[in-house]
Amino acid sequence: TPAQQAEVLARAQAGAYDLMYVAPERLADPRFTAFAASASIPFVAVDEAHCVSQWGQDFRPSYLAIGEFIAALPVRPVVAALTATATERVRADIVRLLDLRDPALTVTGFDRPNLRFAVERCEPKRKDARLDAFIDERRAESGIVYCSKRACVEEVCAHLRERGIAATRYHAGLSPEERERNQRAFVADDAPVMVATNAFGMGIDKSNVSYVVHYNMPGSVEAYYQEAGRAGRDGAPAECLLLWCDGDIATGRFFIEQESANEALTPEESEVVRAGRRRMLEAMVGYCYTTDCLRRYLLRYFGEDGEGGEGLALGGPARGGAGAAAAAAGGSVAGDSPALAAPDPRCCSNCAGEMEAVDVTAEARAVMRCVHELRGRFGKTMVVDVLRGADTQAIRSRSLNRAASYGSCDAKRPLLMEVVELLAAGGYLTITEGTYPVVCAGGRYREAARDDFSLSMKRTASKAKRG
């Protein structure tokens, strides 16, 4: 209540507190700014500092006011900014927007050698069965299952309970009392399996989480790595499994459109946020599609080369030089370094041979030619229909059956749809957001015309080859 807030500020003014936790939104409160103008504030720490950047995965306009708040203080305090997941671009934004002056930058490194990463394409009707098999192998262990929607949390939690698994749930739709009760049950191992949205995890001190399963694909590599990183904090080997399907990509694009409508932003600022969200989503799609080492993909995304250091990061077939975007779709570009030594199967599912790389370079070139000819006016379905020579009213009415690329590729529809996503993930194409997304040329479009361009996609390996 206002009376309680006034009492807290009065006690703080009198020196009763050594530490105050303040939400960024509070900085706009005139009572708080008046308090800050007269109080002695020697140190300001900005947690989750990536939220200040429009290129960060959790941009919050309220964080933009922090720099102005600090600048308005009578005496500038020491300022620290902390984040667990920030790319080089976001780190530069943090320094600039918080006006950090000659800051000492410490990056502790992103590699978690005890985590094993796995990605599996899994259609919705098969996800429960795959989750059951995964958890049945780990009945004595504690883990987290992340879902993208509250309804999905409810369904998955109920399913696990029906199978006799002591599971609990956590999402923003529950009462604070139930969230706290369920969290305590998880931490105490009374309910060793937590099914949750991304609302769960901040400040959770539980070291013996042996696995994290993502039932849906997150919207960014930052969000994924932060959530997956809640496994294995005791240093013991832990599993990070991501189950994904095409519907997850569509959901991610829908969320970009919905979440970017913020009244605190100008239309131009909103578009910058959307562009950042699209870039992060495509990088996450690239993680799902890549045929290279999953660990190295993650490390390169955060600005580490993954070529050295301790742990299992050395064991992977990933190619170097082109960064995470190039590795996204498994496409090679000029200047790639040679492949490293034999992969370590403990590193990730790709290194373990749980997938096969299938060359789709010819199909990729066909897609690129078609997108160029259609001038970025149509969506993925139309591009694929034109390539396959589909005889539809939509194609005839637009005279697309006269296009040079019409009927130029006889590959199956699902494969071509996936190739479009691969090219988008690699930056060769761009898929717009909105009600009717269209496919157009991406920033790396011209690279696909080079002689040394190649593209591969993953396919689940046969048991004989995996074993």
**Residue 321's pLDDT band (boundaries 50, 70, 90)?**
very low
**Residue closest to 302 by CA, chosen among 319, 287, 315:** 287
Asked if domains 115-244 and 358-459 share a fold, the reply is no
pLDDT at 385 over 90: yes
Convert the pLDDT of each residue in 141-189 to its tens digit. 999 999 999 999 999 999 999 999 999 999 999 999 999 999 999 999 9
First to last CA, the chain: 63
pLDDT at 319 over 60: no
**Residue 306's pLDDT band (boundaries 50, 70, 90)?**
low
- The number of residues in the chain equals 467
Rounded mean pLDDT, 261-268: 68
Residue 205's pLDDT is what? Answer: 77
pLDDT at 464 over 90: no
**Residue closest to 170 by CA, chosen among 202, 194, 141:** 194
313 vs 278, more confident: 278
CA dist 48 to 52, 80, 91, 293, Å?
A: 8, 11, 12, 28
**Residue closest to 197 by CA, chosen among 272, 281, 255, 275:** 255
Rounded mean pLDDT, 18-31: 91
pLDDT at 260 over 90: no
Residue 462's pLDDT is what? Answer: 52
Model-level pTM? 0.78
**Residue 310's pLDDT band (boundaries 50, 70, 90)?**
very low
Rounded mean pLDDT, 56-84: 87
**What superfamily does domain 2-97 belong to in CATH?**
P-loop containing nucleotide triphosphate hydrolases (3.40.50.300)
**Residue 218's pLDDT band (boundaries 50, 70, 90)?**
very high
Q: Which of 224-233, 339-348, 433-442 has the lowest mean pLDDT?
A: 339-348
Cα atoms in the 13 Å half-sphere on the side-chain side of 245: 9
**Residue 262's pLDDT band (boundaries 50, 70, 90)?**
low
- What residue type is 233 in one-letter code? R
Rounded mean pLDDT, 247-263: 76
**Residue closest to 359 by CA, chosen among 447, 429, 285, 422:** 422
**Residue closest to 283 by CA, chosen among 415, 148, 421, 418:** 421
Q: Does domain 358-459 have CATH number 3.50.90.10?
A: no
Retrieve residue 165's tokens.
């698994």
Residue 311's pLDDT is what? Answer: 30
pLDDT at 58 over 80: no
pLDDT at 341 over 80: no
Residue 272's pLDDT is what? Answer: 77
Q: Which of 122-131, 246-255, 387-396 has the lowest mean pLDDT?
A: 246-255
289 vs 319, more confident: 289
- What residue type is 230 in one-letter code? R
Cβ neighbours of residue 198 under 8 Å, at least 6 residues apart?
A: 146, 218, 223, 227
What is the average pLDDT value for the chain, to the nearest integer? 85
Residue 17's pLDDT is what? Answer: 93
Residue 276's pLDDT is what? Answer: 82
Residue 147's pLDDT is what? Answer: 96
Residue 90's pLDDT is what? Answer: 87
Rounded mean pLDDT, 276-303: 89
pLDDT at 406 over 70: yes
Domain limits, the chain: 2-97, 115-244, 358-459
Q: What CATH code is assigned to 115-244?
A: 3.40.50.300
